Chain A
Amino acid sequence: MLFFSFFKTLVNHEVTVELKNDISIRGTLKSVDQYLNIKLDDISVVEEVKYPHLSSVKNVFIRGSVVRYVHLPAAAVDTPLLEDATRREASQASAKAKQG
């Protein structure tokens, strides 16, 4: 659930989502769910002429399973915090593994 929480902190930031079919969509991250489905508002497609079906679309719901990359604004990412959270999650996971 770490990345779900991480994406929640990026709500209302501009991100670019690159799909597995090479479309890149830029927009404001509006919400994300546990599957990392992503909702973007005020979208613009990087190569609009190649993907005419998106030109009358204002906001999109992208299924998490088709996302290849999410380009993030570097300023919005607190790297040390993310590192700490990763360590915490890893230690929790190993503690659980020992118990079970």
Chain B
Amino acid sequence: MEQLGLHDAGQRPSSGMQQQMPPAPAPVPQLPPQMFTTAAQLLDLTDKKLMVSLRDGRKLIGVLRSWDQFGNLVLQDTVERLFVQNLYADIERGLFLVRGENVLLLGEIDLDKDDYVPEPYEPASVERVFALKKAEDQERSKTEKKRHKKLAAYGFEGEHAGEAIL
């Protein structure tokens, strides 16, 4: 691949006509268009440990091995991290192929702060966290449904119809 720095200008026309032309306005420095593709953005995340947040609220932590322009991803050695109240737990999941439309964001994990979870959260057993999470999700989907019904009565349509994205 071509080596591109942030200060490289985009392609400029080079022609012999410039002498006769009136002086053109100073070109606005622009990054080359190759810098602005999904591929360029995901390339430097490849083989890194990432936190992937999905549309259904799941948080997956794994190594990004492959991807395409739609944001479809392959994650290796993935764990799913559940957060509930002030507890969290990890579940081993393995290999994932995530369809791009379900991805909210990818975060590169700072290896200096690896596995750092802020203050009030404590590790707990998977069973306990899983049960609490299930109860919490059910509660949320109930209130969400109610809210939706009320909004629908006024003619509002939800942004993410009924889905609790967290």
Contact = CB atoms under 8 A, between A and B. Distances in A.
Contact of B37 (A21, A33, A54, A66): A33
A8 B110 contact: no
B166 interface: yes
Contacts of B35: 31
Given A52-B88, A55-B116, A35 B104 contact: no
A88 to B, nearest CB: 15
Interface in B66-124: 71, 81, 83, 88, 100-101, 103-110, 113-121
Contact of B166 (A21, A57, A65): A21
A35 B38 contact: yes
A61 interface: yes
Interface residues of B, number: 42
Given A52-B118, A53-B53, A21 B165 contact: yes
B117 A39 contact: no
Nearest to A30: B41
Contacts of B30: 8
Interface of A: 4, 8-9, 11, 19-21, 31-35, 37, 39, 43, 48-49, 52-63, 65-66, 68
Given A8-B36, A21-B165, 13 more contacts: A34-B36, A34-B37, A34-B38, A37-B41, A37-B71, A49-B118, A53-B81, A54-B51, A56-B51, A56-B109, A61-B45, A62-B105, A66-B104
25 contacts: A8-B30, A8-B31, A20-B159, A20-B160, A21-B160, A31-B35, A31-B41, A33-B41, A37-B71, A52-B83, A52-B117, A52-B121, A53-B81, A53-B83, A55-B113, A55-B118, A56-B113, A56-B114, A57-B51, A60-B107, A60-B108, A61-B42, A61-B107, A63-B104, A68-B159
